[in-house]
């Protein structure tokens, strides 16, 4: 069972896991700080928890799966409507007072926010989802997941089935500490703009004069491999579907051979690979790794890697990147 209570009671049905035995808010044992996520457990995506007709939504090191009909609010966006469910990422808002609209009481709402520090937590977790301890430091439905660096809140109808899908994100796997598996012999190597990297053999290769227009940080703009010599052309773009509701993850790589393709903010990730400096943007932390690569005597190149599935393909691509010779 992917979601289980950590308590003294037995025989509790799954539908009552979050309410039985007094619920998460009844943990009154002595408190202790949660262990660091970097030392507690390895990052692994439990892909089989996504039910048919649902889609995974990643934010930071966390991933949840929700019905594909749900709405999605990311960043500082705000929306309101008749949706039966909503997943909110970061500082997004659903039916805020400024919109002069009221959320329907039967709307299921799940919010994920990253947290850099955690309050004093109960000695034991409220429940465990796919091996990941989930704590309730106060009154449910506010949960803290130290292993994922996430605070999760729920409201509306029962979220038990959604909580069952909680797992590490592909991004967490790609950026986990430690060495990466060798590049499979069947993969193809691609050289462009002074860098060289490997991709699965069935991925198509496209060289374009301009990057794809109307992009989003939630998922990669296009599947497979896109080598862009220049920025996207100015275009009138409707809101990307990925910005308003869950969409399928997009496997692929985009390499941009032009300046200004990345924001060069705070960096995460390996730092250096085979003498090549790699700065992976800390935010946004959705379904795309945005990496600025540079080396002595060569300008910065931006590489975008789509995060999907178990995250191991994206990790292998990342660690295959090196300076192109010749």
Q: What angle do CA 214, 304, 296 make, to 5 degrees?
A: 125
Preceding peptide of 284 cis, ω within 30°: yes
Q: Given the DSSP bridges, would you call strands 3-5 and 127-129 parallel, antiparallel or unpaired?
A: antiparallel
Q: What is the pTM of this model?
A: 0.84
User: To the nearest 10°, the Cα dihedral for 97, 75, 264, 289?
Assistant: 180
Residue of higher predicted confidence among 258 and 6: 258
Q: pLDDT (tens digit, 9 = 90+) per residue, 60-89?
A: 999 999 999 999 998 788 899 889 999 999
Tokens 């930071």 belong to residue: 60
Contacts of 152 (CB under 8 A, 6+ apart): 62, 110, 111, 112, 113, 134, 142, 143, 144, 145, 166
Question: Is the confidence at residue 316, as pLDDT, over 80?
Answer: yes
Task: Provide the greatest CA pair distance for the chain.
Answer: 67
Ramachandran angles phi, psi of 290, nearest 5°: -110, 110
Q: pLDDT (tens digit, 9 = 90+) per residue, 281-303?
A: 888 789 999 999 988 777 889 99
Q: pLDDT (tens digit, 9 = 90+) per residue, 245-275?
A: 999 999 999 999 987 655 566 888 888 888 8
Q: Is the dihedral of CA 58, 59, 62, 65 positive or negative?
A: negative
Q: pLDDT (tens digit, 9 = 90+) per residue, 142-187?
A: 999 999 999 999 988 878 999 999 999 999 999 999 888 899 999 9
Question: Is the confidence at residue 1, as pLDDT, over 70?
Answer: no
Alpha carbon distance 219, 230 (integer Å)? 20
Q: Do 67 and 85 touch, CB atoms closer than 8 A? A: yes
Question: What are the CB-based long-range contacts (under 8 Å, 24+) for 114-117?
Answer: 114/59, 114/60, 114/90, 114/149, 114/150, 114/151, 114/285, 115/144, 115/149, 115/150, 115/151, 116/149
Structural domain spans, the chain: 3-168, 176-240+248-323
Q: pLDDT (tens digit, 9 = 90+) per residue, 107-116?
A: 999 999 998 7
């Amino acid at each position: 069972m992917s979601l289980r209570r950590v308590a003294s009671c037995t025989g509790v049905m799954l539908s009552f896991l979050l309410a039985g035995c007094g619920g998460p808010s009844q943990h009154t044992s002595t408190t202790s700080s949660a262990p660091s996520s970097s030392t507690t457990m390895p990052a692994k995506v439990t892909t089989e928890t996504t039910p048919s007709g649902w889609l995974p939504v990643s934010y930071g090191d966390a991933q949840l799966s929700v019905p594909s009909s749900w709405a999605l609010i990311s960043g500082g966006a705000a929306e309101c409507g008749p949706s039966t469910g909503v997943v909110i990422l970061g500082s997004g808002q659903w039916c805020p007072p400024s919109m002069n609209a009221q959320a329907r009481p039967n709307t299921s709402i799940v919010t994920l926010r990253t947290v850099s520090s955690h309050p004093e937590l109960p000695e034991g977790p409220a429940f465990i989802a796919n091996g990941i301890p989930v704590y309730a430091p106060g009154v449910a439905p506010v949960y803290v997941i130290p292993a994922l660096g996430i605070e999760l809140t729920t409201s509306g109808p029962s979220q038990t089935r959604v909580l069952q899908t909680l797992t590490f994100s592909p991004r967490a796997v790609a950026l986990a500490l430690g060495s990466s598996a060798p590049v499979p012999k069947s993969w193809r190597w691609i050289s462009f703009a002074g860098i060289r990297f490997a991709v699965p053999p069935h991925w198509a290769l496209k060289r374009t004069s301009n990057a794809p227009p109307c992009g989003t940080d939630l998922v990669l703009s296009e599947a497979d491999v896109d080598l862009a010599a220049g920025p996207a052309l100015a275009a009138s773009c409707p809101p990307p579907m990925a910005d308003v509701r869950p969409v399928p993850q997009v496997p692929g790589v985009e390499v941009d051979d032009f300046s200004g393709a990345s924001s060069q903010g705070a960096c995460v990730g390996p730092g250096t690979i085979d003498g090549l400096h790699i700065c992976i943007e800390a935010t946004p932390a959705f379904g795309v790794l945005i990496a600025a690569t540079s080396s002595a005597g060569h300008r910065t190149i931006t590489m975008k890697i789509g995060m999907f599935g178990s995250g191991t393909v994206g990790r292998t691509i990342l660690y295959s990147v090196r300076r192109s010779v010749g």
